Amino acid sequence: MRGPSRLERDREGLTAVIEFLSAFTLFLMILTAFLALAQMQMGSNDPHLDRLDRAAVLGLDRLVADEGWFTPFVDGEADPANGTTDWHLEAAEDLFLGRVRPGLVVDGVLSVDRVAALSKVTESGFAAGLGLDDALDVRLRIEALDENGTVVEVLFDGGTDRRTAESSSRATRLAVGQDGLVRLSLEVHDGGRAVAPLIITEVQSRPLNGGPEWFEVHNPEGFAVELRGWSFHILTRTGSIDHLMLDGMVSGGGVALMTGDLASQDLGQATEAYDLGEAGLLGVGLVDMLPNGEGTLRMNWTDPLTSRPALMQQVDWGGDTGHFMSPGQSLVLNGTLPSDPSSWSVAATPTPGQPEV
């Protein structure tokens, strides 16, 4: 049997233990809240990854919430009075100059027309419209599914590859499409941005009947690519001619035609066309800028953060390449490696504006 004094000491000891544990628990709660506010890591939670998770989920929520909205800009100022939900009907240049919040769902159903219109939006414009941070890159993939959940068609795929990112997060959502379920996956990355893979696919240096010289640039990406920072260089035995693009864009999956004279150029199926005769890069009529014999056309990309140009592609003809163009012929990419001369061939019938790959 324990005496009264012994029982009293046991009760006091138990009370002290409970008070200590309560105070320690309260301390941990306060410490966790402080670290969360300070964006510091404690344990397995990483605030940086949490921000990526939130960005992916919120971005996807906004993408499928409604039909979206477009606000035009006039003289650099937003003009919300002339905004519209029919953003998918606007021209690519207007979408680029204005502000678009892409939305893909109309009356609860994913709009095929709005998905197709994503090709007119740049990746940066798409991310900004969803309210994502400027430092984040995105990749969007939209797939049509059958009744078994098997992918039957990829409706859209574009953006920065996650392999270039230091960290990333992905959110996935099912939506009702016109012919069944559609799966949308939005990846948000934080890391090095990969340069969009623009490709020169055809060159004509000897046009017939005094026509303009031209070459075409293909964008295999889903999103549109801004041309600012891209440059073209013509090399001959006697020197070189250069031109830096300051504006313009190439639609997703589209072809931009660079010509010496826009007025007389056959545009074919080109999604965009730019007159580089005015810039002195391409010729028309008796003015030859692209060499008829041996020549080289280079395409460079200049990172605005470093101002260092990087060679993205080089096309050679004449000389040791074995590719000699007669008047009316063009040099066409027909392989998968643009840097390999064997992937090019001389075509008797040029196809301006038509994707070659």
Whether residue 203 sits in one domain with residue 123? no
Whether residue 291 sits in one domain with residue 340? yes
Predicted TM-score (pTM) of the model is 0.80
So what's the pLDDT on residue 39?
53
Whether residue 325 sits in one domain with residue 239? yes
d(CA 241, CA 287): 14
CATH code for position 294: 2.60.40.1260
Domain end point (choices 147, 169, 191): 191
So what's the pLDDT on residue 10?
65
Whether residue 57 sits in one domain with residue 149? yes
Tokens of 46: 């990483």
Tokens of 9: 């000491």
d(CA 32, CA 138): 31
Beta-carbon contacts of 11 under 8 Å, excluding residues fewer than 6 positions away, are none
- Whole-number Cα distances in Å, 312 to 183, 197, 207, 217: 34, 8, 26, 12
Residue 216: inside a domain, yes or no? yes
So what's the pLDDT on residue 43?
47
Q: Domain range holding 187? A: 47-191
Whether residue 169 sits in one domain with residue 54? yes
d(CA 211, CA 285): 6
So what's the pLDDT on residue 6?
63
d(CA 294, CA 317): 6
CA triple 94-98-102, angle to 5 deg:
95
79 half-sphere exposure, CB direction, 13 A CA radius: 10
So what's the pLDDT on residue 50?
75
The low-confidence residues of the chain, meaning pLDDT below 50, are 1, 42-44
Whether residue 343 sits in one domain with residue 205? yes
The number of folded domains in the chain is 2
